[in-house]
Amino acid sequence: MIIAHTIEEARAAITDARSKNKTISFVPTMGALHDGHLSLLEIAKQEADFPVMSIFVNKIQFNDRNDFDRYPRNYEADCSLIEKNGCALVFLPDDASMYHDPKTFVTTESLDEYLCGAKRPGHFKGVCTVVTKLFNIIQPDIAIFGQKDIQQCAIISKMIDDLNIPVRMIIAPIKRDVNGLALSSRNALLSSDEKTRALSISRSMKGAENLLFNGERSTSIIADHMRSIIESAGRPDAIDYISIVDFSTLHPIDTINAKCIIAVAVVFGTTRLIDNMIIDFKEGIFACR
Ligand code: AMP
């Protein structure tokens, strides 16, 4: 595996792969890698000859300095893990090579008004900007993102479309641990008690699924039910949101009768976790994933 620390090194490796007619797939990450990231690498390997990952804790997408400082960093372990799993190139830039007093940013409208966009001002501007920069550096044919960050997927998909970026995006399913907790780099920051309490998130989504299965379609009733599960079993330090939004607009809906997303952000201790479920309707029958 090639390890590129600079943009020039990454570009040289990409030029070399292209000269050998290799197709390029790309998985951007912030490191502290787990099986969720590896599931994206698996797709990257299946979809192209030259799978690339980046590891970069992108300061400009953090609206909370403390959150940025305590974000887990594990570069050596990450590199050996992805090398073992067949990554061809890892791009590991530092802050100074990615940002020199930037004055140009990429933003989306409307899709960031609810969910994490409402709670983390500037977050998606930071995400869109870094993803655009990484696309310009790696120039992948295919990019793989996780459903775990569903609003990020929707925003990047729209950005690719709006800006005619020549990349095909694939959205990978959420990887969970055996108990149902969505894998996240932030799980490493949870105490064992917080981790147990965090299981209330996936339990609340199961509760929503059961209500839907029994014919309930009111989003306020479903969200209240989820809230009561999280509050009683999880005793969270804060519930940032439990929202049910239209799949395309990401704006809240009152009744579930078309494709939509149930999304949750909950704080345990000082760690904020997110999770979601897509509800798809086909001929009146729903499927959750
Ligand atoms: P991050 O390092 O958290 O920025 O995540 C990098 C990529 O991995 C993003 O596209 C995430 O959506 C994806 N990802 C994170 N956690 C999971 C998970 N549990 N299952 C699948 N993909 C994930």
Residue-averaged pLDDT of the chain: 96
pLDDT in tens, 250-283: 999 999 989 999 999 999 999 999 999 999 988 7
Task: Return the SS3 of 36.
Answer: helix
Ligand 1, pocket residues at CB < 6 Å: 29-30, 36-37, 39-40, 145-146, 148-149, 172, 174-175, 182-185
- For ligand 1, atom 5, the nearest C-alpha belongs to 29
Q: Which residues are CB-neighbours of 225 under 8 A, at least 6 positions away?
A: 204, 207, 208, 211
39 Cα to the center of ligand 1, angstroms: 9
Place of tokens 């990454």: 10
212 Cα to the center of ligand 1, angstroms: 27
Please pick, among 37, 123, 225, 251, the residue that the annotation labels catalytic. Answer: 37
Mean pLDDT of 219-236: 96
CA distance linking residue 159 with residue 234, whole number of Å: 36
pLDDT at 226 over 90: yes
Mean pLDDT of 189-194: 96
CA distance linking residue 151 with residue 108, whole number of Å: 12
Pocket test for ligand 1, best of 85, 123, 128, 148 (most atoms within 8 A of CB): 148
- Known catalytic residue at 37: yes
Mean pLDDT of 229-252: 96
Q: Are 48 and 42 in contact (CB under 8 A)?
A: no
- For ligand 1, atom 6, the nearest C-alpha belongs to 29
What is 215-284 written as a DSSP string?
T--BHHHHHHHHHHHIIIII--SEEEEEEEEETTT--B-SB--SSEEEEEEEEETTEEEEEEEEEEEETT
Residue-level length of the chain: 289
Q: What is the pLDDT of residue 225?
A: 98
Q: What is the pLDDT of residue 286?
A: 83
CA distance linking residue 86 with residue 83, whole number of Å: 5
Q: What is the pLDDT of residue 156?
A: 98
Mean pLDDT of 27-39: 98
Nearest to 52 by CA among 27, 79, 76: 27
- For ligand 1, atom 10, the nearest C-alpha belongs to 145
Q: Are 143 and 135 in contact (CB under 8 A)?
A: yes
pLDDT at 284 over 80: no
Given pLDDT bands bounded at 50, 70 and 90, which one contains residue 43? Answer: very high
Q: Are 179 and 201 in contact (CB under 8 A)?
A: no
Q: Are 18 and 24 in contact (CB under 8 A)?
A: yes
Place of tokens 């086909």: 282
192 Cα to the center of ligand 1, angstroms: 22
Mean pLDDT of 54-72: 95
Nearest to 218 by CA among 244, 242, 240: 244
Percent of the chain with pLDDT over 90: 96
Which residue type occupies 244? I
Mean pLDDT of 226-234: 96
Q: What is the 3-state secondary structure (H, E, C) of 176-226?
A: ECCCCCECCHHHHHCCHHHHHHHHHHHHHHHHHHHHHHCCCCEHHHHHHHH
pTM of the predicted structure, to 2 decimals: 0.96
Given pLDDT bands bounded at 50, 70 and 90, which one contains residue 285? Answer: confident
Q: What is the pLDDT of residue 112?
A: 96
Pocket test for ligand 1, best of 41, 128, 149, 153 (most atoms within 8 A of CB): 149
Structure tokens at 246: 């239209």
pLDDT in tens, 124-177: 999 999 999 999 999 999 999 999 999 999 999 999 999 999 999 999 999 999
